[in-house]
Every structure is written in C-alpha cells, then in structure tokens.
Chain A
Amino acid sequence: MRFILFSILCIPTLAFAQFKMEDTLKTVKIIENTQEERLDKKNTIEKDVLSQFQFDNLEKVLAIYSNAFVRNYGNSNLSTISLRGSSAAQTQVVWHGISINNALHGMSDFSLFPTSFFSSVSIYNNTLAANTIGGYISLDQKPQLYNKDWSVSAAYHWESLLNHSSFLNFEKSNRKTIFTTQVSLKYAHNKYAFDNTFLNKRDTITHGLYKSFQNISSIHRKINNNDQIAVHVWYSHTNREIPKATFEGKSEKEECIKTLRTVVENNLRIGKYKSHTQLGFIYDDYTFTDSILQIHSNSSVNTYSLSENLTYTLGHEHTATLSATSSIQHMNTEPFQNIARQLISFQYKVSPRYNKWYIATMFQKEFTNRFSLPLIASLSMKYKVWKKHFLQASVSKNYRIPTLNELFYIPGGNEQLKPEISKNAEGGISSNLFYKKHLLTMDHTLYTRHVQDWILWYGGAIFTPHNIQEVWSRGYEAQLNYKFFIKKKPSEIIQEIIIAKSEKILSEKTIHAQVFYSYNLATSIKSNIQNDQSIGKQIPYVPRYQLKTSIAYQTDFFKADYIYTYTGYRFITTDESQYLLPYSQHHIYVSYLYQMKQYKFRFSMSLQNLFNRTYESMIGRVMPGRSIAFGIQCSYH
C-alpha cells in the first residue's frame, strides 16, 4: 500500500521528469530522492511545455508557466524577471551549476536564451543558494545516455512580425562518449503596428532588427562507471536595434552582446563519497552605440570560477555536502576593477523515504576582497500530514553583493555600497490528489522576505546606485496542475508510473490544465531619504496580481494549448503616483507530429495575443498585437 501511495506521490515528478525521447518503451529508474528534490524545487517547466515554445526565447515561457513577472522592453529586447518582487539582479540564473548572470550589471536577459537549448527550466523561489535573494533559475540540458546512437534535427520558424528563426541539432553517442551540439539562428525584424496614444496616431516599430547566432555544445566522457568528465560550451553573439519608445521621436540605439560560457566538470564517486568539481569561465562583452547621442561604449568582463562539492551519503537518508568555491570577476575595460570571492558552505539533508519529516539545512560563509559578509544559513522542512498532503516551511538568510557596475560604473558607480541582506520565511501546503483518471497537484505558499540595504539606481543626468531602502515582500502563490487521462484506466496509469515508462505514454490523450496565481506586496518600509513618499508603497514594476492559466489537449501526435494571462497594475514611480494599466493576453499553440519510419516531422502554429490587445510591460515599450507563426521541425533518429 505504501509503495502505491509513494508512487502516486511521484506522479507529478515523473510526469515532468527528464526522459530521453524514444518511441519504443524503455524502463528507466525512478528518479532518486524524489521527495528530497521536491523540498526546495517549486516549479519546473518541462520539455513538453518548452517544445511548444522551442522557437522562442525563454522570456515567453517564464511569462506564462511561472509566477515570475517578466519586465520586457519590447519584442526581442531586454527581458528581465522579478520573482516575488525581487530586482533583476537578485535572481541568479544557473547553467551547469554556475551563475551566468552578467558580471557587470548582475542581470540575465532572458531574450538571449533560446528555449530549444534546454530540456527543462526550474524556478526556485526560496533562497538556498548564495547571492540569490530573489531565488534562482536553473537552465537544464537533456541528460545523456551512453548508448550507441545518433540523431539530427533541423527546424525553421516564421512569424508574421517578419521574424525568422531556425535551429540545428546533432547528437552522437557511444558507450564512452556523448557529443551534442545545437546551433540557433534568429533574424527578426520585429515589425508591427500599434496605436501610439502619445502621438495620437497609428505607429510602427521599425528600428527593431534582432540578429543572433548561438551555439551550445557538450562532450561527456565516461572514464569508468564512477568517473565522468564533461565540457560544456555556450557561445552567443547578438546584434539588436533598440526601437524608439512611444514617446521618443527617433532611435538609433544598437547593442552588440557577445558571451562565451564554458564549464568543465568532473563527477567522481568513491564509495559513499561523491565529488563534483567544476571549472567555469565566462566572457561577457557589451557594446552600445547611439549615433544620435554620439555614444559608443564597450565593456567586457571575465569571470573565472572553481568549485568543489564533496558529498557523503549515509544510507539512503542522510547526505552531507561540503562545498568550496573561488571566483573572480575582472573588468577588461575601464576602470579595470575586480571582485574576488571565496566561499565555503555545508549542507545537510535528511530525506527518509517512508518517514514523515524531510529536512535540509545549509550554512555558508563567504570572504571577498571588497565586503565583509555575514554567515548565512537556511533550514527547510517538509512534513507529511496525511497521505499525499504535505506541509512545507523554510527560513533563510541571504545576501547579494553589489555588482561591478554598481560599484565602479563611470559615471555614477558607488564604491560605498553595502551588500543587500535578506531574511526569508515561507510556508505552504502541497497536495497530490489522484482519483480515477484525474490527477490534481496543488501548491500553496505564503512567504515573507525582508531586504535591508536594497540597492536602487536613481538620478537625473547621472544615475547612481544607493542603499536606500528596506523592502518587505510578502504574498501568496498558488500553483495548480490538473491532468485528466482520457483513455486510460487508473490501474494502467499507476502501473505505468510505477514502471516509469516513457513520456509518450504518460502524455497519451490527456487534458492538462495549469494555473499560476500570485499576490505580491513588495513595499518599501524604510528609507534614508527625507520625506520619502515611497514608504508603504509598492516598488516599481512589481505587479500585485498575476494570473496565468493554460489548458492543453494532448495525444501522441497532437497538442493544442490555450493560454490566458493577466498582469495587474504596475507602478512606474516609487510613490505610486504613476502606473501602467493591467493587461490580459490570450494565446493558442498547436503542434502536430508526423512520423515516417525514422523521420519525424513536427508542424507547429501559434496565434499570439489573440484579441490584439495593446499593452506595455515597461512604459513606452508597446508589445506586439496579434501575430501568427508557423514552424516545422524535421528529425532523423
């Protein structure tokens, strides 16, 4: 009985687990530490969702399938996110275990991350990792199997905004080596008309050309069953024009963004010890030109990191991990400054498979050449109340150190800045209900986060960052997942889950509905400015309310999604004196898979902003109205 119950609990995880795309059924192991993994994982966007958006960049996916708010400066333009009212630099984006936030400004631009590169995206709202006041997002690539195998696929996509994109995948593997590479090309005009209420006329976005070349490659080498080495390389080169805002007369702004990310990692297992060693190197180069303002600026930065994680496993229930990381961020352009960091952390997890308690704790101390940082810690607990109902709670203390630009930008950098310090707590209920052919998973979370010395850029002619605010974010988040298995009998579904067959079986003829709801109050509670009218007011560009829903019908060969999102008022000023109106959007995504022997053809169509609503994510940056897109992908395996 327990075994069946446990299996039922695993349904959502398995449904979203990372499988190799196979047509033939293969038995795979149930993923280890399922319960423990769910201790801090809040939301994972899986391959079947990502595949509907494989021609888009990640900002579109996150705007729909998470509680994040995406601050979008226009189609194909800068897109940053806010988790629970965080600033963009407070959320880390992690790829193969290393942070890939730009070392200069600390942000990640999700319009530069092709969805097709990733097999899943996980959003962690709570803060169990360093420098992650606003949580972190893990970009995961497909796990590889050491089989003799190869596959190739190519895809092309056209969008009515005169946008084109394509990608090419190649994978080859044998018993010792796996090689994967993917190239993504985008050439987008982003041309669309809109009602310009400022100029009181029908206007057109014209200066919005986006050209991007990206390549992501990995080589995995199995030295023996206990020792594996992998090298990952991600190169990205993007040129894009920045269109004028509605209130600007003209724009000749352009930017060129070049990034090289490399990670070398080694996984070694000796008895009860596991060692994970990582060497990372990131090169970020940014050039901005504006021929009207006669600006041409270039900045680049190198980031080197080395980390070692040593994990000791005692039975199936206890793991202790000791981690040490050393990194340096060095500016290659003026003023040639750097930040060197060394941190050591200890994590301990207890995850008894059949007991009621699941506990994880972490302590961390970091030393830098610039700041004195506090010892931070976190504690997460999960308690099985009854059958498939869990209570979860966590508390943590965290920080974010100022970025290189915040400290040294010329003009305006402020070397007197202090790190932001946060105290966080959250609690919630998660439930999994399975009845006949219906599966419902629910997550309800209440949270509070208090950030001291919040860094805010402000100014007129010269922008300067200041530690001026104490911000209190609190709110409620809900995530509901409902699946109706149309054809299958409950016993078949359970049987399949126990055996954990391929994704294809689990997705056969289902109706799948998802709801994300968030209510977030993020208000400043203290300020060093005299007569500050922002006290008690919502911080800019953080909506209080967001609702995102999707309903999908899926068979082996066909998938149709209907998506609805609502975003509430967002304030432009800290005293709530000016704001943007709420907006809602409707989208339809349809895809069809046609298989002919070893060839697969996947046809896709999307209709975005179905009701042609005019809306702005950021002021003056009107997003596209209704648009249609078609795509085709051909695979050989």
Chain B
Amino acid sequence: MKKYVFIIITFLFSCVKDKPNPNITNNTTEEKQILILNEGAFGNNNSEISILSSTQQKVITNTAYANANATSMGDIAQSMIRIQNTLYVCINNSNRILALNPNTFELKTSINSVLLPRYIAPISSQYALVGTLYQNEIFVLNTETNNIVSSIQMPYKNAEAMVSYLAKTYVCLWDTACHAIYQIDNTTQKIDDSITIQVAAPREMLLDINNNAWILCGNKYQNKKSFLLHIDLANKQVIRQYTFDANAEPMRLTMNETKDSLYFILVNYQGTQPFNGVYCMSITDQQLANTPIIQAPNNSYFWGIGINPHNQHIYVSDPKGFTQSSTVFEYTKSGEFIQSFSTGIGSNQFYFSK
C-alpha cells in the first residue's frame, strides 16, 4: 500500500513546476508595426502595448512597455494617440497619462494630475484636450512641456470623443442628461457654441469624407437607447438619425481610410446572438446595417476594431472576458478570415504606422 501511495504522490509532484514560464522579451525595432493597446482587466494592473508586425505577420511582443521600462503600465489603458513625436496613453484607473517615445516605448514622463483620463485630442501644435470620467472638466495639456495648463468647465460630465475641425473642437459628453454636442474654440479654449440633438448621451464621433460628423449616442444600462447621428457641422443640422434596436449596444465607431464607410461593433456581454459582431455601412446608406459582416465568436464579443489603411483589412479583438490573452482576428475588407494573433489582456485599440 505504501508503495502505491508513494507512486501516486511522486506522480502528482512531478506534474507541474510552480514557477511559470517567463515572458519572452522580443525585438521592438520592426519598421511596419501595428500597435495594439491592451487595456487590461479592471483592478489587475495589466494594461500593455502589443506590437504586431505587418510584414512578418506575427506578434513581436505583448509587453512593449514592460520591456522598455521594467514595470507595468497601469490599470485600464483607455486610449492612445500619437501627437508629433510622443505616444500618449491614458491609464484610466491609475489616474495618469503616460508620454512615451513612440519608437522605443520608453517613458518620457507621467502626467498624474488628471483623475480618470479617457481620451486625448490635439487642438493645435502645442495643445491637446484631455477628457475624463465623472467630471465636468476637460483638461488642456501642453504637448511640448507635457503639463496640464488649464481646464475647461463643461455643462455635463464624461467628456469622451473630441474632434477638431476648422479651429473648433466638437465634444461629446456621455451623460444621460446631455442633449447637445459642444463646440470649443481652439484658440480661446472656451465653449462658444453647441449643436442640440434630440437624443441623450453622445459618446463617439468621427468625421467622414464630407467633414460631416457621425455620432454614436446612448447608454443601454442607463436606459438610454442608442442612436447614430449624421450631422452637418457647417450648418449644425442633423442630416439623419439612425435608431438601434433596444437590445443593441454599439461602440467603437470607425472609418476606413477613404472615410466613406463606417464600421462599428455591437456588443452582447452575454456572448450570445443577435447584436454581437462587426457591422459596416456606407455613409450614404439610409438604414443601419442589419447583419454583421463579422459575427462575434460564441460566448464572447468583440472589443476593439481597426482598419489597416494600407490594405483595408479589418482587425478585431476578442477580449475573452478579460481573463486571458485576447485574440486579434484579421479579416479582409469583405469579412473573410485571414489569420489570428494572441495579444495582451483586453485589446481595445489599433494604431497603424504610416
């Protein structure tokens, strides 16, 4: 009997070593890169940047920031944007904005004076606006000194999308009480006008080839139905209003390189159908797309989307519940699967080098 017990125990002990495999440090000098922002899982301090090689068709690294700085990036990387020679990353739950060298990913400086930063939008060669959650403020960042120099009081909280056009910046305030798009003068850095809309909670905005704005509105969990608005910024009139199904939750409004097609994701957190996948429509369509060009995998949903400007390929990420590495899928323009990559936790944004 003792012999058998000994064999069983020996077998068990020989199964798994406790020490995990170390992360592999990869070369980050690839020229044609696709940067992928991995927001991480909330409360796990595991946001990162992945680098995907366009030419070699492989992931170079999923820990670009840690490789360069030997520390973690923070908790919930909401967005990244390259402004001149700096890559800015908003780390939402760590209350900081990282200014990185876009080639080496080494930290230049960390801006720690903004609570819950979400998105950054440049408004001039010297300034950018920083939106935040739960505050009626937009902060003005001096991109030369990387200091917050002032703030703009807004009528509502949750400044999300900010788009500049003809010396004005149009701001979406994702507040269920908000029924307008606010216009900020880039020179005076003050609100000087607004566009009234009939629906609540504007959140995402893009400009098309005609410089008309496309705006996603709504908040399903605050009982505000979702809409897509098409607005003429010149005369500040709503051209068309598209209504989503009450069960649909649209996000990640994206344009192709020619700015004549819109892409967005419908998210179903239960991982079931319908309203779960990537949808595409022309800017001239009279109705919303009914069927996805890419269906989300069963028991999951998509979280990030990017259109490669070089070949119009669609990149979408499956965050797999934010509990493990995401899978990024590459599809052709028409939605045919090409390949997939394993990236970091909660991949949410793609940046394609020119």
Which residues between 236 and 266 of chain A lie within 8 Å of chain B, taking CB atoms? Answer: 245-250
A468, B46: Cβ atoms under 8 Å?
A: no
Chain B residue nearest to A530 in the complex (CB): B297
CB distance from B194 to the nearest CB of A (A): 23
Q: Which residues on the B side are within 8 Å of A460 (C-beta)?
A: 39, 41-42, 303, 319, 322, 346, 348
Which residues between 474 and 500 of chain A lie within 8 Å of chain B, taking CB atoms? Answer: 474-476
- Most interface-central of B19, B20, B39, B133 (chain A CB within 10 A): B20
Contact with B along A551-573 (1 / 0, CB 8 A): 00000000000000000110111
- The answer, yes or no, to whether A372 is at the interface (CB within 8 Å) is no
Chain A residue nearest to B74 in the complex (CB): A247
- The answer, yes or no, to whether B112 is at the interface (CB within 8 Å) is yes
- The answer, yes or no, to whether B311 is at the interface (CB within 8 Å) is no
- The answer, yes or no, to whether A519 is at the interface (CB within 8 Å) is yes
A540, B323: Cβ atoms under 8 Å?
A: yes
B12, A458: Cβ atoms under 8 Å?
A: no
Chain B residue nearest to A519 in the complex (CB): B12
- Residues A574 and B323 in contact in the complex (CB < 8 Å), given A245-B75, A462-B221, A569-B20: yes
CB distance from B262 to the nearest CB of A (A): 21
Contact of A620 among B45, B318, B321 (CB under 8 A): B45
- The answer, yes or no, to whether A197 is at the interface (CB within 8 Å) is yes
A458, B13: Cβ atoms under 8 Å?
A: no
A575, B324: Cβ atoms under 8 Å?
A: yes
B94, A248: Cβ atoms under 8 Å?
A: yes
Q: Which residues on the B side are within 8 Å of A572 (C-beta)?
A: 41, 44, 46
B322, A458: Cβ atoms under 8 Å?
A: yes
A248, B95: Cβ atoms under 8 Å?
A: yes
A247, B16: Cβ atoms under 8 Å?
A: no
Which residues between 173 and 219 of chain B lie within 8 Å of chain A, taking CB atoms? Answer: none
Q: Which residues on the B side are within 8 Å of A538 (C-beta)?
A: 16
Contact of A247 among B8, B45, B345, B346 (CB under 8 A): B45
- The answer, yes or no, to whether A270 is at the interface (CB within 8 Å) is no
Contact with A along B340-354 (1 / 0, CB 8 A): 101001101000000
Contact of B321 among A416, A456, A545, A578 (CB under 8 A): A456
Q: Which residues on the B side are within 8 Å of A545 (C-beta)?
A: 18
Q: Which residues on the B side are within 8 Å of A410 (C-beta)?
A: 221
CB distance from B353 to the nearest CB of A (A): 25
A575, B325: Cβ atoms under 8 Å?
A: yes
- Residues A247 and B72 in contact in the complex (CB < 8 Å), given A293-B133, A519-B12: yes
CB distance from A480 to the nearest CB of B (A): 15
How many residues of chain B have a CB within 8 Å of chain A?
Answer: 56
B43, A620: Cβ atoms under 8 Å?
A: yes
- The answer, yes or no, to whether A294 is at the interface (CB within 8 Å) is yes
CB distance from A117 to the nearest CB of B (A): 31
- Residues A582 and B20 in contact in the complex (CB < 8 Å), given A246-B45, A460-B346: no
- The answer, yes or no, to whether B270 is at the interface (CB within 8 Å) is yes
Q: Which residues on the A side are within 8 Å of B221 (C-beta)?
A: 410-411, 462
Q: Which residues on the A side are within 8 Å of B46 (C-beta)?
A: 572-573, 578
Q: Which residues on the B side are within 8 Å of A474 (C-beta)?
A: 12
Chain A residue nearest to B344 in the complex (CB): A577
A530, B318: Cβ atoms under 8 Å?
A: yes
- The answer, yes or no, to whether B101 is at the interface (CB within 8 Å) is no
Contact of B323 among A200, A249, A573 (CB under 8 A): A573
A532, B324: Cβ atoms under 8 Å?
A: yes
- The answer, yes or no, to whether B9 is at the interface (CB within 8 Å) is yes
Q: Which residues on the B side are within 8 Å of A532 (C-beta)?
A: 320, 324
CB distance from B302 to the nearest CB of A (A): 11
Chain A residue nearest to B15 in the complex (CB): A521
- The answer, yes or no, to whether A446 is at the interface (CB within 8 Å) is yes
B134, A292: Cβ atoms under 8 Å?
A: yes
- Residues A248 and B19 in contact in the complex (CB < 8 Å), given A460-B303, A530-B300, A575-B324: no
Q: Which residues on the B side are within 8 Å of A529 (C-beta)?
A: 297-300, 320-321
Contact of B271 among A197, A412, A466, A619 (CB under 8 A): A466
The CA of A78 and the CA of B300, in the complex, are separated in Å by: 29
Q: Which residues on the A side are within 8 Å of B74 (C-beta)?
A: 198, 247
B71, A200: Cβ atoms under 8 Å?
A: yes
A residues adjacent to B (C-beta < 8 A) = 197-198, 200, 245-250, 292-294, 410-412, 414, 416, 429, 444, 446, 456, 458-460, 462, 464, 466, 468, 474-476, 519, 521, 528-534, 538, 540, 544-545, 568-569, 571-579, 582, 619-620
What are the nearest 3 A-B pairs in CB distance?
A249-B95, A458-B321, A575-B324
Known A521-B16, A530-B297, A533-B320; further 14 A-B contacts with Cβ < 8 A: A198-B72, A245-B75, A246-B45, A248-B93, A249-B95, A293-B116, A414-B270, A458-B322, A460-B319, A466-B271, A531-B340, A577-B324, A582-B18, A620-B44
